[in-house]
Amino acid sequence: MKIKKFPISIVLFIVFWTTQTHLYALTPDKNLGIIPQPNHIRMKGKTSDISTLKIHLDKNMNSPFYTDLFKGVEGITVVEKKYANVLLKSDDLLGQEAYSIDVTQHQVIISASSGKGFQYALTSLVQMYRFHGLPLPQVLIQDNPVFGYRGMHLDVARHFFTADEVKKYLDYMAMYKFNRFHWHLTDDQGWRVEIKKYPKLQEIAAYRDETLIGHYNDQPHKYDGKRYGGYYTQETIREIVRYAADRNIEIIPELDIPGHSMAALSAYPELGCENKVYKAATSWGVFEDVLCPNEVTFKFLEDVMDEIMALFPGKYIHIGGDECPKEAWKKSDFCQQLIKDKNLKNEEGLQSYFVTRIAGYIQSKGREIIGWDEILEGGLAPGAIVMSWRGVEGGIEAAKQHHYVIMTPNSHCYFDYYQSESPGEPISIGGFIPMEKVYDWNPVPSELTPEQRKYILGGQSNLWTEYIHTFDHVEYMTFARDMALSEALWSKDKDYRRFLNKFEKHYTYWVNKGAHVAFHIYDLKHHVKSEIGKPVQLYFDVPQQATIYYNYEDDNLGTMNGLDTITIDKSGKYTFIASKNNQRGHPLELNFNLHKATTARIYLETLPSDRYAGRGPQSLINGLKGPDSKYGGSEWLGYSGTDCSGFIEFSEETQLNTVSFRFFKGEGQWIYLPKAIEVSVSDDGIHYSSVVSTTEIHTDTKVANISLPLKGIKGKYLKFEAKNYGTIPTGRQGAGYKSWLFIDEIVVD
């Protein structure tokens, strides 16, 4: 392994470019320690002489939130007005969430027009005092969020969390100026809210017989045999609603209908389309048993919504509408007759009828409804707000129809996905969304016109808890990435390097409070570069200008920095770790298997999804395998409904003995093995001869390793095609949707 230094001219260019690009980030004046970053900061060039904050709160600001905000901060006290050096002034010209902070030599003047503005201002001031340190700079901050809807979601149906744990979640939200808590209260696995008129919901639907152990993709499925559940009494919910209101957070309750309703059916089977016994689900996924659109169901839902609206005074009610299989409706004589009677086109039209009817009832009570983007199917209910989760396409379509949209695409906002490629990460549903990807996200798609963009209300993170059993795990999956999201939704002035400097201090604060926060900012992101006929080169994005220590097969080799590249000239295990100021990243182990294609060039005729593009086409021949346990990250390439095809060009005519492919199998995540593979060889890249093909592709594990014999044939070009499985069949998770194909290393020997 050799380290290669860049020429001095390139070094100077990189230093100049970095300095210019990140000058704002590297200027300490405007790094005030505040997350999310304020939108307008004017430094006055001097420091104040303020060493303690003496704050006067008038009688209208007696929220217990402020007691919690100031608790444990040495040097902050609440005093009578005559002793205060932090003065609060009302300014009706400012927006509801806007504020200003003017730090002069001797005092701090805060202006806002509402309790929200004063809360956000004092939160920013406390962060600046805590994380920037003393003396405070003389500075004028004028701030207002980019997006009005800034949400965090928590699923308590799959795993239940106590009222105190929910309050911790709300405390975190308040710290980072989130203003909507999307509370997912019902699903197939449990019903979590007391409904007085229907007591079986808390007696039966709140519990399941047992719970799946391990991952859904593990075969065969295993269960713990333990009854599991719980619910919130109406008294508890009112207490939590008040707690949220004290922090200017509106709670949006979600009752997921007409699908994801197995728990409700277990208590009241007459709500189903079949005469049978239903049970709350003990595993994860999508189930064919859904609510029947008859008068019994609608009366039940109207009664339930009456109690829900009495508990939650906010203007939004979320009614789900996602992942509703139509098989039960197709088999139901009642549903088929209803489709005819209502002159509906098909079962999608029936779902639209269902959603529209419930939406109309809720809207008649002066509320607004939100639904997942499936409510677009069959036609949107009037006034419905679309929550776009299957990418951004649903949000784009809704905005074009002049419906309001909340963006929460699973490409950027699903925090039950892995956040690191470290092998030590706790089990997750799959996918890969690192903090940097969250930070760089813009909720407004470029495809929209300026007129259409006004329908994008904002965004939120989603935390589904199939694999999250404890609140410690909730904190681990959300706290780091939601700091990044808060800045993505609030701030115009974004800079990731500056954010990381702030994040380290905020991380320490939460850890000292006993929270479990993910820390991956010193984890290395590697890049493998190869040119036809030349050795493999390795380089890194170096986090926070850290030093990298590395070894080969446990033999220490030394250190490197971000301007170094390494020549990988032999197979084996290379280990790298970044370190700075006593902070270390997780070790990165790269097990290189150099083969004939690693010094070749690859061309893809069909490109992978932008969400799962690895490090580009070269990921398929760079000598590295992606992890067996997760399909996101730097090595796996994912194709949604399309084939993977391309060709490999060698530097010269080469004897080809075998070619091997790796595919991921995760049918619970709609990931299927290919239905066929074909390999051809050519001398000129124009005329190809088929060498081998197969349709026998099976595995009982998460990864299929398929090796095909080439029998020593010679050629300069090797063409491959892996055919996508196609539409997911009835009875499977994701039935009717396009399947995914995930491919990793193509090894040529």
Which tens digits make up the pLDDT trace of 194-232? Answer: 999 999 999 999 999 999 999 998 889 999 999 999 999
SS3 labels along 287-303: CCCCECCCHHHHHHHHH
139 plus 161 within the same structural domain = no
What distance in Å separates the CA atoms of residue 680 and residue 710, rounded to the nearest whole number? 9
- pLDDT value, residue 45: 84
pLDDT of 284 > 60? The answer is yes
Residue 706, strand partner residues: 661
Q: What is the DSSP letter of 418?
A: B
What distance in Å separates the CA atoms of residue 107 and residue 83, rounded to the nearest whole number? 11
Domain assignment present for 314 = yes
Count of H-run helices and E-run strands, the chain: 17, 38
Domain assignment present for 328 = no
Out of 143, 161, 195, a domain closes at 143
Strands (E), 219-346: 222-223, 228-229, 250-257, 316-320
Out of 127, 143, 159, a domain closes at 143
**3 state SS of 81:** helix
209 plus 260 within the same structural domain = yes
Which tens digits make up the pLDDT trace of 428-445? 999 999 999 999 999 999
492 plus 537 within the same structural domain = no
133 plus 156 within the same structural domain = no
Domain assignment present for 675 = yes
pLDDT band (50, 70, 90) for residue 25: very low
Q: How many residues does the chain have?
A: 749
pTM equals 0.93
For the chain, how are helix, strand and coil distributed in percent, rounded to 5? 30, 30, 40
137 plus 201 within the same structural domain = no
584 plus 715 within the same structural domain = yes
268 plus 387 within the same structural domain = yes
- With residue 141 as reference, give the H or E element that holds it: strand 137-143
Q: Domain with 419 in it: what CATH number?
A: 3.20.20.80
Domain assignment present for 490 = yes
- pLDDT value, residue 545: 82
| Cα–chain center distance at 427 | 15
Q: What is the DSSP letter of 592?
A: E
pLDDT band (50, 70, 90) for residue 10: very low
Q: Which domain holds residue 292?
A: 149-323+350-502
pLDDT band (50, 70, 90) for residue 8: very low
pLDDT band (50, 70, 90) for residue 22: very low
Report the percentage of the chain scoring pLDDT > 90: 85
Q: Domain with 64 in it: what CATH number?
A: 3.30.379.10
Of 23-32, 426-435, 455-464, minimum mean pLDDT range: 23-32
526: Cβ contacts below 8 Å, ≥ 6 apart: 538, 539, 540, 576, 588, 590, 634
Which tens digits make up the pLDDT trace of 470-505? 999 999 999 999 999 999 999 998 999 999 999 999
What distance in Å separates the CA atoms of residue 188 and residue 325, rounded to the nearest whole number? 13
Which tens digits make up the pLDDT trace of 560-587? 887 789 999 999 999 999 998 888 999 9
Out of 92, 120, 143, a domain closes at 143
Question: With contact defined as beta carbons under 8 Å apart, do 580 and 546 qualify?
Answer: yes
Which tens digits make up the pLDDT trace of 409-420? 999 999 999 999
- pLDDT value, residue 1: 52
Determine the average pLDDT of the residues in 629-641: 92
Domain assignment present for 605 = yes
Of 28-32, 460-464, 493-497, 675-679, minimum mean pLDDT range: 28-32
**3 state SS of 713:** strand
Domain assignment present for 25 = no
Domain assignment present for 517 = no
- pLDDT value, residue 16: 32
The domain total for the chain is: 3
pLDDT of 19 > 50? The answer is no
543 plus 473 within the same structural domain = no
Domain assignment present for 22 = no
Catalytic residues: 187, 260, 323
202 plus 300 within the same structural domain = yes
What distance in Å separates the CA atoms of residue 534 and residue 694, rounded to the nearest whole number? 32
- pLDDT value, residue 26: 35
413 plus 546 within the same structural domain = no
Determine the average pLDDT of the residues in 233-239: 98
Q: For all residues of the chain together, what is the average pLDDT? A: 93
474 plus 359 within the same structural domain = yes
The token pair at 735 is: 């039935």
470 plus 540 within the same structural domain = no
pLDDT of 332 > 80? The answer is yes
What distance in Å separates the CA atoms of residue 748 and residue 131, rounded to the nearest whole number? 53
Q: Domain with 684 in it: what CATH number?
A: 2.60.120.260
pLDDT of 6 > 80? The answer is no
Of 710, 748, 740, 657, nearest in space to 217 by CA: 740
pLDDT band (50, 70, 90) for residue 613: very high
Question: With contact defined as beta carbons under 8 Å apart, do 151 and 459 qualify?
Answer: yes
